[in-house]
Structure 1
Amino acid sequence: MNQSAPSNTLKINMCHMALACALCCTSLAQAQTGTGVTLYGLADAGITSVSGLKAGTVTQVASGIMEGSRWGMKGNEDLGGGYRTIFTLESRVELDTGAAGNKPISGSQLSDRFSQAALLGLPAALQPAVAGVDAALAAQFGVNVTNALFDRQAYVGLVTPFGGFLAGRQYTPAFETNAAYDIMETQSGLSAGQIVAFPAVLEIRANNALSYRFVKDGISGSFMYAAGEVAGDDSKNRLLGLNANYQTGNFSMGFGYNTKNNELGSSSLTTSVFGASMKFGNDKLSGMVIKITDDNPSGMSAIAPLLTPSVGAATATLVQNAFINAFRQDGTLFHIGYRHVTGPHSVSVAYSSYDDNRPANADVTSYGVAYTYSLSKRTDLNAVLVRFDNQNLAQIAPGGNGYLGGITATAGTGSTSMAFGIRHRF
């Protein structure tokens, strides 16, 4: 789900998890020996061409075709007796500009259903007020728009014989399950989360998070509590999450769940992920269903105070309620994918569909193919072809793992993306 706009929720830049099976992170940490700090990273860039945008077809150099480019530091210290301390600091970097964040290919344009007074159920005379709200929302539409230094991960932890305890900015449990059962592991514009980039249906990362992780006899899982840290009310902006995974032989199945409160403390974005996969020699088949609800979208309470000086309290509240209704979510995302690997060649095909149950009925489907040729264990060439079919008021354009495609020219307009890139890990 590659996702960033009015909040971290919308960072569905679908950044690939180095922990695609992050449920097993504690066992990986236990497997390390000695003490030290490792500098690591990934450089991924190429050329992408996206059709259906307001400017027509846009061709550009982009960072993050398959995975978001990044560099980081990780370390561990063996304390003896099965105990170990670990840490990770991971920073995003855009190879095309050297920046730490980026904006969608389509720019700051928002979907018609969020930018046209009539589609919001408001009188045409309130279009200027709507435009003012859109300008504030669009300023936050992108990847790492705050330019945080370690936007991807920043945590420290203690691994014990009975599990791992981590504190800091981390991937959420539901996102980890999504990454494990997306055949693309969130890589490229073909990944499932690309079609629900705005508004996003999943919190990818959480700040101020405490988590517990365990791995034992094919069963793994995690629990997360992310504090909202609002003085006087710890329920505001709070996130709770959990996941569980069972693996035996070539079969795996898992469940992930996130629920977050908005800035007022009301239950907001809630996401449940169910997935399963099976390996057959060089082949893998994976499927996933994600249920999304959000009756109290985050960030909307700031609209009325923003507009009151210019339109009055009553009208400002009317506009705010219209945006709250527009950003509510009730939908189901389906995904199925297949991958075949032989020698240096890897071919993946996937089909994803989002069924929107809200009045906008903004249904989207995506399908396509991704090909990878490995030049070595650390370097590969990639080609991705993906088609988005938008229906009714849907208006999503495909991006990559490190960037958002954005919005098509008009509601119901489809979009095709072709991307070619090189990826190097160090």
Structure 2
Amino acid sequence: MKKMRALSAAVLGCFSSFCMAQSAAGGSSVTMYGIVDIGINHVTGASGGSMTSFTSGNMQGSRLGFKGNEDLGGGYRAVFTLESRLEADTGALSNRPISQGRLPDRLSNAGSLGLPAALQPAVSAVATQIGNSVGVNLGNNFFDRQIFTGLITPFGAFTFGRQYTPGYLANANFDAMKTESSLSLGQLVAIPASFDIRVSNSLQYGLQLDGFTATAMYAAGEVAGRSSAGRLWGAMAMYKGNGYSFGGGYNNRNNELGEKSLTTAVLGATVDVGPGTLSGQFSTIKDDHPTNLSGIAAVLSANPATAPVASLVQNAFIQGFRQDARLFQIGYRITSGVHTVVVAYNNMNDKRPFNADRSSYGVAYTYALSKRTDLNAVLTHLNNKNTSQEMLGGNGFLGGVAASPGKNVNSLALSIRHRF
């Protein structure tokens, strides 16, 4: 029988911030670690023209974390992770998009939502409320990135807390950019979000058997009187062979009413070709019952001026925020000494009536000053089509919304990243 090696969720997602495999020998330890990533980001296509700013998280989100493990004997280990995001340019815990609280025109214009122009004031009020919730960790939760504990056993790892979802782990593994920078696939699906990256109140089981790695997750929504509300479950499986890998992941989340909401499925593969690695992935995104929109009518009903149209406006926003899309990426990564170059092409095919198709392509270059410190340059072009209005951000921040539908966007990011 082949030897089974159980790993924590952090090990299964070694493309996240750290890997605990180094502590697999005996003993106990607590380690502080982190990333400081800061640079200059120049984008075109923003409202008011081009914009240049200092940004944190161009390649990876800056963070501070603590990880630990304790050998319990008999093949059992206790592990924990506490990881906080931080903004290296300001010291804050959260950030807003370049476009602040603005939504795409297709989601904030009465006509685009199929409503009479006379209802624009009600639509604008709702769009402002939704837009104010767009950003990264706006609640300023200290351990927003990860916080979990668990047991590694001879028959698998069990971890509990706030963790990366299986679907996102699969996406990150097969992304040529490993979710880094404006060139990653996830930059095409930021508003509305098409991936549940992390989830709270989760239980995850993981194992690794030679080249096979798998996780399964259940996360409780914890809504009183409605056990299915906000619930998420997912699974991921990957196999890594000699010079190749393949696998997939799946997430399904319910909305606040317990209805099936965002569902994401990912299939991907890599193969060594020449001096580098060719990677590709395909994802489907479906959401017929968008989350956190069921209260719009109640808010509008509190105002006598908008009460008569409350249900009409709510239904229009629900229709507008539904998702049905296909994502595709192909990329090539080559590392030679201190140099790493990645080229990638990303495509999002919107199946909804909005037909908000978009694509991006570009090149990323990393020069390693040492094992811990590197310099990075990323140039990305985003082609917005029809009603698409995406902006380019980075791994640690959202780009937001371009100046107008169909407006193309260019991004040039120069940064320094230090890991400790």
TM-score by length of 2: 0.95
Q: Tell me, yes or no, if structure 1 residue 81 matches structure 2 residue 103.
A: no
Deviation at 1:151, TM superposition (A): 0.4
Moved more, 307-316 or 400-409: 307-316
Q: Tell me, yes or no, if structure 1 residue 210 matches structure 2 residue 182.
A: no
Q: 1:16-415 maps to which residues of 2 (within 5 A)?
A: 20-21=13-14, 28=21, 31-280=24-273, 282-310=275-303, 311-415=305-409
Letter in 2 for 1:232: G
Please name the residue that 2:5 is paired with. none
Does structure 1 retain, via aligned residues, the 8 Å contact 2:12–2:213? no
2:417 to 399, 402, 423: 423
Structure 2 residue runs without a partner (length 5+):
1-9
1: CA distance, partners of 2:181 / 2:306: 45
What CA RMSD, in Å, does the superposition of the two structures yield over aligned residues? 1.6
Deviation at 1:31, TM superposition (A): 2.4
1:247 to 1:193, Cα distance in 2 relative to 1, 3 A: same
Identity of aligned residues (%): 54
2: CA distance, partners of 1:348 / 1:401: 15
2: CA distance, partners of 1:29 / 1:83: 16
1:393 to 1:18, Cα distance in 2 relative to 1, 3 A: farther
Does structure 2 retain, via aligned residues, the 8 Å contact 1:350–1:367? yes
Does structure 2 retain, via aligned residues, the 8 Å contact 1:245–1:252? yes
Runs of 4+ in 1 over 6 A off after TM superposition: none
SS of equivalent to 2:264: strand
SS of equivalent to 2:159: strand
Letter in 1 for 2:109: Q
2: CA distance, partners of 1:149 / 1:27: 22
CA distances 1:285-341 after superposition (whole Å, capped 9, x unpaired) = 100000000000001101111111224544100000000000000010000100111
Letter in 1 for 2:358: V
SS of equivalent to 1:349: strand
1:404 to 1:304, Cα distance in 2 relative to 1, 3 A: same
Deviation at 1:77, TM superposition (A): 0.1
Does structure 1 retain, via aligned residues, the 8 Å contact 2:343–2:362? yes
1:198 to 1:34, Cα distance in 2 relative to 1, 3 A: same
SS of equivalent to 1:317: helix
Letter in 1 for 2:397: Y
Deviation at 1:21, TM superposition (A): 3.9
Letter in 2 for 1:346: T
2: CA distance, partners of 1:213 / 1:30: 17
TM-score by length of 1: 0.93
Letter in 2 for 1:320: Q
Deviation at 1:272, TM superposition (A): 0.3
